[in-house]
Amino acid sequence: MKTDIHKQIVFDLIPFTFRVLFIWYLVAVLLELLFHGLVSEVLSLDLFLWVVILLAVFSFGIEYYQRSQSK
């Protein structure tokens, strides 16, 4: 039962975090273009992108897993 809760949390949270961070990544790139150094002096945009890509991979993996389970 407890494992199901954890699974649900992970399955719900990862796609949500991916969507939020993907939008924020686009916002961050736009802001960096407008205000040079605003974002890049605080956090690495490259690292940010890798986190988004990693979340995307997990997110699509979860979606694929859920689809295959529902069949």
Partner 1 sequence: MKQGRRAIEVAKAVVLVTPVVLLLWMFNRYLALDGELTIEYDFNGESSYVSEFTPLGRAWDREENLRTGETYQRIVGEPVYMSVDVPWSFDEVEMTVEYQNRNQPFIQFGLVKTTDPWVVDLKPAEISAIDTALAEWDAVEEDGVTLLQKERSFETFGEFVTGFPEDASIGYYNYFPPHIYIDDTYEKQAEGTEINRLLRGPHSFATYVKDEPLKCEFTVTDINREEGEDPVSIGVVRDSTILHEELLNDDGVADASRDATGSRTMTIDIPELPEGMYTLVFHANNDIVIESIRCGQHKFVAISHLYLVNSEEYSDAFPEIDTSETILTFHGHKLSARTAHTEGIQTLFIDDQPLDVYAVDAPFWWEEGNASEYHELRVVKNDIQLDAPGFFAFEPEQAFNPLYGLRYVDETASANDFDYILVKEYTPPTKTTSYTYQSATFSLDGVEGDRKSLDFTIAAPGIARNQNELTIHNVSFTFTRDSLWERVKNKFSSDK
Residues 6 or more apart whose Cβ sits within 8 Å of residue 27: none
Does residue number 41 form part of the binding site for partner 1 (CB under 8 A)? yes
The pairs formed by 6-12 with CB atoms below 8 angstroms and a separation of 24 or more are 10/62, 11/62, 11/66
Q: Which is nearer to partner 1, 34 or 71 (CB)?
A: 34
Does residue number 5 form part of the binding site for partner 1 (CB under 8 A)? yes
CA gap 14, 56 in Å, rounded: 9
Does residue number 68 form part of the binding site for partner 1 (CB under 8 A)? no
Q: Which is nearer to partner 1, 39 or 62 (CB)?
A: 39
Amino acid at 65: Y
Summarize as ranges the residues that interact with partner 1 (CB under 8 A).
5, 8-9, 12-13, 16-17, 20-21, 24, 27, 31, 35-43
